[in-house]
Amino acid sequence: MIGVVESVSALRFLLDCGVDEVIGEEPTDWSALSPRPRTQSAVASPAPARPAPGAAAPQPAPRQNVPPPAPTRAADPGPLGAAEAGQSARVAASAAQTLDALKEALAAFDGCALKKTATNLVFGMGSRQARIMLIGEAPGENEDRQGLPFVGPAGQLLDRMLAAIGLDRHADDPAKAVYITNMLPWRPPGNRSPTDSEIAACMPFMVRHIELMAPDILIFAGGISAKAMLNRTEGITRLRGRWFDYGSAGLKKSVAAMPMLHPAYLLRNPDAKREAWKDLLALKVRLDGGA
Ligand code: URA
């Protein structure tokens, strides 16, 4: 007979392994559900670098054209081969003429294996007329359950940060509203970091998401979105607080974009809130029409 202590430690072990979801009463052989055999080829973005200590002083940077990140290292290509997934994502994303159509296209997309283990697709939240679009990393456990971005502890901190400069994801007024989304619409199991190939597979949808929102300002929360969308290799502590011009083929004009520290990082490193506050003030100045 297993005692309570053993059961708790067995559950703890499973949690540590990333098994933190009950997704069915019967076991499922996920590999048997793959519609096609996997291939060895992979499309991947530059490997995420660890944040370097110290932050760079804000400075203007040249316009960034935003092709999907260059292949650098092999990773799980998902249920479709990487090239096939990329092509299918590009076709589906560019055909979408509205955000609702894009959400449907994403829901129908089979090129990212995370879809199979996620509970919900997390698309976006907030007024579609918002001047600001904030892009995080990927849904966590709470987001996966609710189908909404940034609703866990990091999201609550994010809301407080936005409120400090008069912004609110629930606002309808475009001047106050913030539209929030993530690089990946599906939760990586156990909240692991997304792989390069998962980011690459979903990149055409992210690019199109920005085109259809056409915001005045983009905020990249954390290194994953900043590096992937700006095609940069520096860590977030070097990128944060700097303004970039983000561009893509479907945007009429480039969008001012600023990377910021991720709220989950701020929860773990409260001292870094000083840096985050500087960036929020810079965002406020920009919103109010300043430099
Ligand atoms: N972290 C993210 O990057 N996005 C979320 O939605 C939640 C946590």
What are the pLDDT digits (tens) for 3-20?
Answer: 665 565 555 544 444 455
Query: Any idea where the domains of the chain sit in the sequence?
Result: 82-287
Residues 6+ apart with CB under 8 A from 285: 291
Q: Which CATH class is domain 82-287?
A: alpha beta
Q: What tens digit of pLDDT does each residue of 219-247 get?
A: 999 999 999 999 999 999 999 999 999 99
Does the pLDDT value for residue 45 go beyond 70? Answer: no
| Calpha distance 107→92 (Å, rounded) | 11
The CA distance from 153 to 133, in Å, is: 20
Alpha-carbon span 130 to 179, nearest angstrom: 6
Which residue's CA lies nearest to atom 7 of ligand 1?
Answer: 150
In short, whether 263's Cβ falls inside 6 Å of ligand 1 is no
Contact at 8 Å (CB) between 226 and 259?
yes
The b-or-e profile of 73-84 (16+ CB within 10 A means b, else e) is: eebbbbbbbbeb
Q: Which atom of ligand 1 is nearest to the CA of 152?
A: 7
Distance 228 CA to ligand 1 centre (A): 16
pLDDT for 27 equals 53
pTM, to two decimals: 0.76
Measured in Å, residue 171 CA sits from the centre of ligand 1 at 20
